[in-house]
Amino acid sequence: MGRKFFVGGNWKCNGTTDQVEKIVKTLNEGQVPPSDVVEVVVSPPYVFLPVVKSLLRPEFQVAAQNCWVKKGGAFTGEVSAEMLANLGVPWVILGHSERRALLGESNEFVGDKVAYALSQGLKVIACVGETLDQREAGSTMEVVAAQTKAIAEKINDWSNVVIAYEPVWAIGTGKVATPAQAQEVHASLRDWLKTNVSPEVAESTRIIYGGSVTAANCKELAAQPDVDGFLVGGASLKPEFIDIINAATVKSA
């Protein structure tokens, strides 16, 4: 059984009710491969989750962009995993580089978040990735291994985890890792899982790429053996997201 191609759309902090309805209409009308070929998850801001979920075609799922590290309570401004589960939101993105950088989320904190979200029945897109300084210093693998290790130390079951490798220097910059650069890190990550978790987890866990993915570069990236899909930022707000979903056919061909 191969790994099913996975395409996530991270809308980040964007959208109005009108814009959101327009994006959903485009998604609903798009011609895409069947759900046994590709799994599609879109992640609008919290406030739009219910409306997107109610309007979106049934084979596409929704994700939150974050959730709190433990049970709810006196944590003003936070949203708990229980609330997401209660709303029927199946997925959550955790450890995105913007949160690591802007909000100081540490590897350990992200590991705790992943474990708690899984314990509440959510599925997790866990993000890892290095900065430009780290890449230029040659420490890419060291950085992503440490980020992955912090998660591996807290969880036993990887069946509901997708790892998103997002080189920070490629997010929203228009710079994209070359297919060879992406494949190298994905293969190294899979190798790390094989050695440090298990060969089974390494073989079955989807490792997706994020960082300026577009309709123009998605097919070449999708052709890499260890690239199991994408986490798309800016382009997920545009009609070209449909083209990116269709890159799944590269794998099933």
Joined together, the tokens standing for residue 234 give 């800016």
Residues that are catalytic: 96, 166
SS (H, E, C) 9-56: EECCCCCCHHHHHHHHHHHHHCCCCCCCCEEEEEECCHHHHHHHHHHC
Contacts of 245 (CB under 8 A, 6+ apart): 7, 30, 32, 33, 38, 40
Residues 6+ apart with CB under 8 A from 157: 118
Question: What does the DSSP 8-state code read for residue 90?
Answer: -
> Which is nearest to 88 in space by CA: 52, 45, 39?
52
Please give the helix or strand (H or E) that residue 219 lies within, else none.
Answer: helix 218-222
Please report how many Cα atoms fall inside a 13 Å half-sphere around the Cα of residue 126, on the Cβ side: 35
